[in-house]
Structure 1
Amino acid sequence: MIKTLGLTHLSLAVGDLDRSLAFYSQAFGVREYYRDADSVQVLGPGAHDVIAFELDPLRAGERAGIDHFGFRLVRPDDIDAAVNEVVRAGGKLIRRGEFAPGCPFAYVSDPDGYQIELWFEATPAVEQDGR
């Protein structure tokens, strides 16, 4: 087995770099750390998260076999605020529900149409220290 820091980045083809940066900054608190004419890279909310926005209007929003990606919530009670923030930032609610009592989820989309899962699932680490 190869030791890694886990899945650390995601690259998305987007139609507008500034629109994507604004959406993910407002909804998820990402911070820009690199930019050139065709891309913007941001540091995400997790310790090792990077999202790269690659300007490619012809492929923006194509799922190409990847159904969605997700952000795991710290508390189950944050689901309503998370959905509201995504909508306020320019995204859309697709559907929501619960995997089990106390384990809510919502599927939302970003301005390019990528599906994002917002979800909570308790684990011993989450229950003990809130991470």
Structure 2
Amino acid sequence: MIKSRGLNHINLNVSDIQRSLRFYQAAFGLEVRFWDGRRMVFLGSPGGNDTITLCEVDTDQPIGAGGVSHFGFALAGQDQFEESVRQVERAGGRLLSRGDHAPGLPYAYFTDPDGYVIELGSS
């Protein structure tokens, strides 16, 4: 059996890498780890081990949800939740829905510029 240490990364096909880079930096504070050419950038949360790869593809390739329901970012605490929702909206995220998974566990779903659905929640 494989002994996994958890999800390593997610790769998102995007239509405009600079637009998507600006969104993920402004909305979630992700930092550039490194570039692979001009059409792929590796991002991560400051101090975290997560990686999101943005890959600019030609328009004949799938962009957007493409079978992925959503992926999520966990906040350190719910005291940041309301300001974080506003931050994602200011960055260009479109709020789809919000509520509570359980008492004291708020969530909000957004779309990014290419239509990927992102969940913001507190842990």
Fold match (TM-score > 0.5)? yes
| DSSP 3-state at the match of 2:69 | coil
- Local SS of the residue matching 2:119: strand
Question: Shift of the alpha carbon at 1:49?
Answer: 0.7
Deviation at 1:33, TM superposition (A): 2.4
In structure 2, distance between residues paired with 1:80 and 1:47? 22
Q: Residues 44, 90 of structure 1: CA spacing in aligned structure 2 closer, same or farther, 3 A cutoff?
A: same
Name the SS for the 1:113 alignment partner: coil
Q: Does 1:113 align with 2:115?
A: yes
Residue 51 of structure 1, CA deviation: 0.8
- Report how many aligned residue pairs link the two structures: 120
Residue identity in the other structure for 1:60: I
Q: Which runs of 5+ in 2 are unaligned?
A: none
TM-aligned CA deviation for residue 2 of structure 1: 2.5
The root-mean-square deviation of aligned C-alpha atoms, in Å, is: 1.5
Aligned counterpart, 1:76: 78
- In 2: Cα distance, 1:116 partner to 1:98 partner: 15
1:46-57 equivalences in 2 (<5 Å): 47-57=48-58
Q: Distance in 2 between matches of 1:96 and 1:57?
A: 33
Aligned residues with identical type, % of pairs: 44
SS in 2 for 1:71: strand
Query: Is the partner of 1:34 in helix, strand or coil?
Result: strand
Q: CA deviation at 1:45?
A: 4.3
Contact 1:44 1:51 survives alignment (8 Å): no
Partners of 2:102 and 2:49 lie apart in 1 by 29
Residue 46 of structure 1, CA deviation: 5.9
Query: What amino acid maps onto 1:120 in structure 2?
Result: S
Q: CA deviation at 1:79?
A: 1.7
For residue 34 of structure 1, report the CA deviation from its aligned partner: 2.0
What's the secondary structure of 1:11's corresponding residue? strand
Distance of aligned partners of 1:57 and 1:86 in 2 relative to their CA distance in 1, 3 Å threshold:
farther
Give ranges in structure 1 of 5+ residues lacking alignment. 122-131
Q: What is the TM-score normalised by the length of structure 2?
A: 0.88
For the Cα contact (< 8 Å) 1:13–1:57, is it kept in 2? no
Check whether the contact 1:13–1:60 (CA below 8 A) recurs between aligned residues. Answer: yes
1:33 corresponds to which residue?
33
User: How many angstroms does 1:83 deviate by?
Assistant: 1.0
Following superposition of structure 1 onto structure 2, how do residues 1-131 of structure 1 map, counting pairs within 5 Å?
1-35=1-35, 36-45=37-46, 47-58=48-59, 59-61=62-64, 63-121=65-123
Secondary structure, aligned partner of 1:99: strand
